Amino acid sequence: MNLQPPSLLTGTQPGAAMDMAATATDARALAALRNGAMRDPKAAIRETAKQFETLFMQQLLKGMRDAQSAMSSGMLNNQGTQLGTDMLDAEYARKMSGAAGGLADVIARQLERQFVNVTPPAGTRAGTTPTGVPGNATPAIGPQSSTAIQRQLDFVQRHTEAARAAEAQTGIPASFMVAQAAHESGWGRHEIKNTDGSTSFNVFGIKAGPGWTGRVAEVTTTEFIDGTARKVTARFRAYASYEDSFNDYARLMKDSPRYSRVLADAGPGAVGAAGFAQGLQRAGYATDPAYADKLTRVINTTLRLQRAMTT
């Protein structure tokens, strides 16, 4: 004869009901933690560390309960009392976890050392081609601080519309162009400045050659000459807006014969991120020998950010 009351979950036993509820809760918590990690990685790490500490404390209490149960028995020791005890221990574990200087802090520090890098230091200009189009030696994009991720999201949102207009002219995917602008400008942190400190809106780092009749900005840049990085003063094009910068980039891609292969490969389904980046390097867009690899990583980061923005 079963004296245990059925659970509210379709007549299942209390232990099974608790497992089912815990599974559903864990799935929701995991999804929330994953979404939170995109917005604020450090906060997600702290929450993860607290959960680890909670599990540890719960197991510690369970071990103590099991040792006590082994020394006592009686009518009050049944599935119902076990369920209540487990729930009480879980609540105790939550209350005891997350205190300053506790185990969660130790775990969080360890996780941060492994998974969260500080924002990369200011990059250097990677060098110019014979036609004067520079590259940027921005470090590869990996796990970032929450501030850096927010900067990247803001950059993608700010330039996506202009990139789509340029895509209509060139066939180059908008996400690729946003990523190239991000790579060249260090996600907007190292935009080329005018003499008065204002931005030139030149996010692609296009130099002002002999045929350029618009405004210019002179800055010190790093060029790779015969494989050696050297500091030089160069003249770059200055625009009235970011839209003008993207439009000029589109004209450069369309009108220069050296980039005809890049445009051909940029058609629907033709090449991926690596193919586009390698095509630009073969065409001589930048003299940095690692340009294609760096740009590929930034393109992949941009694609991940765009997916996160639409979910």
Domain boundaries, given as residue ranges, for the chain: 14-115, 125-310
Report how far residue 184's alpha carbon sits from residue 116's, in angstroms, rounded to the nearest whole number. 23
Longest alpha-carbon distance in the chain: 96
Report how far residue 143's alpha carbon sits from residue 134's, in angstroms, rounded to the nearest whole number. 26
pLDDT of residue 165: 95
Written as six digits, the tokens of 196 are 């008065």
Per-residue pLDDT in tens (0 to 9) along the chain, 311 residues: 444 443 333 444 444 444 444 444 455 665 665 666 555 666 767 777 777 767 766 676 676 666 666 555 555 566 666 777 777 777 776 776 666 666 767 776 666 555 444 333 333 333 444 344 444 434 333 445 678 888 999 999 999 999 999 999 998 999 999 999 999 999 999 999 999 999 999 999 999 988 899 999 998 777 677 677 777 788 999 999 999 999 999 999 999 999 988 888 776 555 688 889 999 999 988 888 899 999 999 999 999 888 887 76
CB neighbour list of residue 253: distance below 8 Å, 6 or more residues apart: 170, 172, 259, 262, 263
Q: What is the pTM (predicted TM-score) of this model?
A: 0.55
CATH class of 125-310: mainly alpha
Residue type, 182: A
pLDDT of residue 8: 35
Active site residue 53: no
Active site residue 47: no
Q: Pick the catalytic residue from 53, 191, 223, 288.
A: 223
Q: Pick the catalytic residue from 86, 248, 255, 288.
A: 248
